[in-house]
Amino acid sequence: MGKRVPVRTKAKLRDAANEHMAMLEKSPERVMSFFQDPRVKYAAG
C-alpha cells in the first residue's frame, strides 16, 4: 500500500484494504512480529 498511487474512491480503498489484508493473512509471522514490542505485548495474550 505504501508505494502505490493513493486511492480516490471508496471501492478502490476497499479493494486496496482487502488486498493488504490478504497479504497479511498469508504471512502470520509478520503479524506476530507486530506484537513482540514490550509496549504492545499485552495484546498478544
Structure confidence at residue 6 as a pLDDT band (50, 70, 90): confident
Residue 17 in grid coordinates: 484494504
Per the structure, the count of domains in the chain is 1
Residue 1 and residue 23 in contact, taking contact as beta carbons nearer than 8 Å:
no
Q: Is residue 1 part of a domain?
A: no
Q: Is residue 3 part of a domain?
A: no
Percent of the chain whose predicted confidence (pLDDT) is above 70: 96
Q: Is residue 5 part of a domain?
A: no
Confidence at residue 2, expressed as pLDDT on a 0 to 100 scale: 62
Residue 25 CA to residue 2 CA, distance in Å, equals: 18
Residue 4 in grid coordinates: 502505490
Contacts of 13 (CB under 8 A, 6+ apart): 7
DSSP letter assigned to residue 36: -
Q: Is residue 33 part of a domain?
A: yes
Q: Is residue 18 part of a domain?
A: yes
- pLDDT tens digits, residue range 8-23? 999 999 999 999 999 9
Q: Is residue 36 part of a domain?
A: yes
The whole domain housing 38 covers 10-44
3-state secondary structure of 20: helix
